[in-house]
Amino acid sequence: METTGNQQVGGVYKESDNHIPEGDLFDALSNRRRRYALQALMGTDGVELGMLAEQVAAWELEKEISAVDSTERKRVYTSLQQSHLPRLDDAGLVRFDKRAGIVEPTPGLEECEVYLDVVRGNDIPWSEYYLGLAGLGVALTAAVAVDAYPFVLLPDVAWLAALAVTIAVSALYHTHYAARTRLGRGETPTEMDR
């Protein structure tokens, strides 16, 4: 029988499997408060539940941590403690010690990044963009090969260089875009959470 997540053995949590099933990941990421909690945990060794609740409340309310009042903090604290963190723990994304009030990321949390190539507004997925770019490359190659006008005005190597530069610029932008929107890489939530 395959197990995932964390198992408590004699009061000590042990990782049973680093791989998290896709369904569990999608379920964990389907809630904004859980995404915020995961983002706040990325790049840390763990945080106290109260601090996590303050950060999540601040992001949800779009205000500074210092402006979060005790009622707002308590509402987030309670839902994290009773619902969201146990669910993330069961999924293997965090270790939640309810008694000590400590939340720690697990190696499974890194798997979330693969699922965050988010499409916003009128954007298209990167896979479709690169498919279109490949189609453009094929069409350009065919037009240059048959000496179609205006492609005869420049040498073939110039068109090849233009295509190579277009691919390189696209790849550089995609790398920058992915780093900027990656879970836990900024001081504020990723753009998908707004």
Q: With contact defined as beta carbons under 8 Å apart, do 95 and 101 qualify?
A: no
Q: Per-residue pLDDT tens for 84-129?
A: 999 999 888 899 999 999 999 988 877 676 554 444 445 667 788 8
pLDDT of residue 192: 45
For residue 169, the tally of other CB atoms under 10 A from its CB is 10
Q: Are residues 15 and 68 in the same domain?
A: yes
Q: Are residues 79 and 131 in the same domain?
A: no
Q: How confident is the model at residue 176 (pLDDT cuts 50, 70, 90)?
A: confident
pLDDT of residue 165: 94
Lowest mean pLDDT across 2-11, 75-84, 133-142: 2-11
CA distance 148 to 134: 19
Q: With contact defined as beta carbons under 8 Å apart, do 185 and 42 qualify?
A: yes
Give me the chain's average pLDDT, please: 79
Q: Are residues 19 and 107 in the same domain?
A: yes
End-to-end CA distance of the chain: 39
Q: Which domain holds residue 176?
A: 126-181
Tokens, residue 90: 């069961």
Q: Are residues 14 and 110 in the same domain?
A: yes
Question: Across the strands, what pairs with 94?
Answer: 105
Higher pLDDT residue, 191 or 152? 152
CA distance 72 to 63: 11
Structural domain count, the chain: 2
